[in-house]
Amino acid sequence: MFFQGRLERLLQQLKSSAAIPLRLELWNGRAFDLSPNPKVRITLPEPSALRYLLAFDLLRLGEAYVEGRIGVEGPILDVFGVGEQLARAGAPRKRLRGASKTWRHSRERDREAIHQHYDGADDFYALWLDANRVYSCAYFKDGSEDLDTAQEQKLDHILRKLMLKRGERLLDIGCGWGALILRAAERYGAHATGITLSESQHEYASRRIRDAGLQGQCEVRLLDYRDLAGEGVYDKIVSVGMFEHVGLKNLLFYFDRIRALLKDGGLALNHGITSTDPDSRWVGLGVGEFIDRYVFPFGELPHLSLALRELSKAGLEAADIECLRWHYAKTCAIWVTRLEQHREQAIALAGEKRYRIWELYLAGCAHGFDNGWISVYQILACKAGQARSIPLPRTRDYMYQ
């Protein structure tokens, strides 16, 4: 009963010092409201569940939820917010940033990470992504757009930034389910090639290309970016939501391959999630550890300054940089709402545990982007020393036409 007494003392302190919209119900029928109108209810079914709550760590709280050790009711965005408040209130000296951590990225390790994240789950993703299965932040012009419209706007925003023209050769590194290369071929008349490590994505994108009759203009290859060969092959190169999985120590090689594959006078665009910590450390409070354990192993987020440094060392020059953090916060909030709306179907497809993992992960991403824990940037670049020879307009107006 030591832990129960400790919990009750802590809850009394929280009730008097922090307005957390939580009702906590214990196995013995006792209940504690930490604010007058709690939005979230957490149920501890047995005394052993106390260790999760008293850890004051979002990894342990998340583990308890996804493993079914505690009961949780309430809107998932509110649930995550309550979890953060508990972690901060119970351990006020804990900082938002964790220790620096880097992984060794090999072809085998990265292929396995992609397989774990994507393969065999196409129907699950289809429940909450847009019709084109674009698994990256949408682009909202006024915030009222539906997800399908906002994702198409994002594809066009990228392709306009690249000034993609009919007949040009486009490479998409980490092409997902193929939405960008299909739009580049259909709407812009480009010859588009995408690469992915996911067998499911490769199969799906190849089928969409065949269905659209674009086999001679568009292709997707099952290939690691490190195995791309050639010099000056592509007029335009794009990578969306992929460099998060390159690894901090591999960024220089990644950008060097882009520079080598890019034609003189060409443009490249990298769209990726970044850390807001100048030292590229993980998000603390157990968040980074939860993502590594349950969602995407071996992912690493560079700070924008590190990405720009490695891009420059590779012989590229940044021509335009745009932050889309607000857009990703809204996208993730829409995703998790759509997932909740398809709860029964999602559980039937992926199981209760995977549903809970993704519900919590997407809500955490929405919260993280909204509160500046992480960010996302589009970096438009050319080969160093060629900026004057590329006919980039003097203003950004061309991006919005």
Among 35-44, 151-160, 168-177, which is the least confidently predicted range? Answer: 35-44
Chain position carrying tokens 């071996």:
298
Total structural domains within the chain: 2
Is pLDDT of 94 > 60? no
pLDDT for 254 equals 97
What does the alpha-carbon distance between residue 167 and residue 192 come to, in Å, rounded to a whole number?
A: 9
- For residues 247-265, give the mean pLDDT: 96
Mean pLDDT of all residues in 338-357:
95
Mean pLDDT of 210-216: 96
Residues whose CB falls within 8 Å of the CB of residue 19, separated by 6 or more in sequence, listed in order:
34, 35
Least confident span in 91-100, 120-129, 349-358, 380-389: 91-100
User: Ranked by mean pLDDT, which of 90-94, 105-109, 321-325 comes out on top?
Assistant: 321-325
169-178, 262-271, 296-305: which has the minimum mean pLDDT? 296-305
Most confident of 56-60, 109-113, 156-160, 244-248: 156-160
- Cβ atoms of 308 and 278 closer than 8 Å: no
Burial of 256 (0-12, 13-18, 19+ CB in 10 A): middle
**Structural domain span for residue 393:** 107-400
What does the alpha-carbon distance between residue 355 and residue 350 come to, in Å, rounded to a whole number?
A: 7
Q: What is the CA radius of gyration of the chain?
A: 23
Amino acid 198 reads: S
Residue 218 annotated among the catalytic residues of the structure: no
The string of DSSP codes covering 59-95 is: HHHHHHHHTTSSEEES-HHHHHHHHHHHHHHH-TT--
Q: Are 372 and 236 contained in the same domain?
A: yes
Using the predicted structure, report yes or no on whether residue 290 has a pLDDT greater than 70. Answer: yes
Section 134-145 average pLDDT? 96
User: Contact 11/24 with Cβ under 8 angstroms?
Assistant: yes
Do the beta carbons of residue 269 and residue 241 sit within 8 Å? no
* Dist. CA 58–CA 52, nearest whole Å: 9
The reply to whether 247 and 394 lie within a common domain is: yes
The reported pLDDT for the residue numbered 19 is: 79
In angstroms, what CA-CA distances link 218 with 24, 27, 177, 188, 264? 55, 59, 13, 12, 23
The dihedrals phi and psi of 131, each to the nearest 5 degrees, come to -60, -30
Tell how far CA 228 is from the center of its chain.
24
Q: Name the band, by pLDDT with cuts 50, 70 and 90, for residue 154.
A: very high
**Do both 123 and 86 map to the same domain?**
no
Tell me, what's the pLDDT at 92? 54
Longest dimension (CA), the chain: 74
Q: Which two tokens stand for residue 136?
A: 């990256």
Phi, psi dihedrals of residue 265, rounded to the nearest 5°: 85, 5
The pTM of the full predicted model, rounded to 2 decimals, is 0.92
Residue 85, domain member (yes or no): yes
371 and 228 assigned to the same domain: yes
Indicate whether 339 pLDDT > 80. Answer: yes
Query: Does residue 94 contact residue 286 with C-beta atoms inside 8 Å?
Result: no
* Residues 352, 216 share a domain: yes
199 and 154 inside one domain? yes
Give the helix ranges, DSSP H, for 217-291.
251-261, 287-290
How far apart, in Å, are the Cα atoms of 76 and each of 35, 64, 153, 335?
18, 15, 28, 12
> What pLDDT is recorded for position 105?
65
In a domain, 389, yes or no: yes
**Quick one: DSSP state of residue 400?**
G
Query: Looking at residue 298, what is its pLDDT?
Result: 79
The secondary structure of 13-70 as a DSSP string is: HHHHH----EEEE-TTS-EEESSSS-SEEEE--SGGGHHHHTT--HHHHHHHHHTTSS
pLDDT in tens, 230-239: 999 999 999 9
At 351, give phi and psi (nearest 5°): 95, 160
Are residues 137 and 56 part of one domain?
no
**Which DSSP letter does residue 281 get?**
P
Q: Between 334 and 386, whose confidence is greater?
A: 334
What CATH code is carried by the domain that includes residue 226? 3.40.50.150
Amino acid 401: pLDDT: 78
**Cβ pair 56, 91 in contact under 8 A:** yes
**Whether the predicted pLDDT of 301 surpasses 60:** yes
For residue 114, pLDDT over 80 is answered with: no
Are 114 and 73 within one domain? Answer: no
Q: Which of 218, 332, 365, 382 is catalytic?
A: 365
Per-residue pLDDT, 390: 78
Separate counts of helices (H) and strands (E) for the chain: 15, 11
> Would you say residue 263 has pLDDT above 80?
yes
Q: Take residue 247 and report the two structure tokens written for it.
A: 């690894």
Report H helices in 100-213.
Answer: 107-118, 122-128, 147-161, 179-188, 199-211
Identify the CA nearest to 234 among candidates 190, 270, 271.
Answer: 190
Express as a percent the part of the chain with pLDDT over 90.
Answer: 72
Residue 12 reports pLDDT greater than 60: yes
Same domain, 12 and 112: no
CATH of residue 22's domain is 3.30.1050
Same domain for 78 and 170: no
pLDDT of 50: 87
Both 40 and 189 in a single domain? no
Give the integer Cα–Cα distance in Å for 88 and 81: 11
> Among 167, 315, 214, 194, which Cα is nearest to 255's?
315
Is residue 299, in this structure, part of any structural domain at all? Answer: yes
Provide mean pLDDT across the span 84-102.
67
In degrees and rounded to multiples of 5, residue 317 shows phi and psi of -125, 125
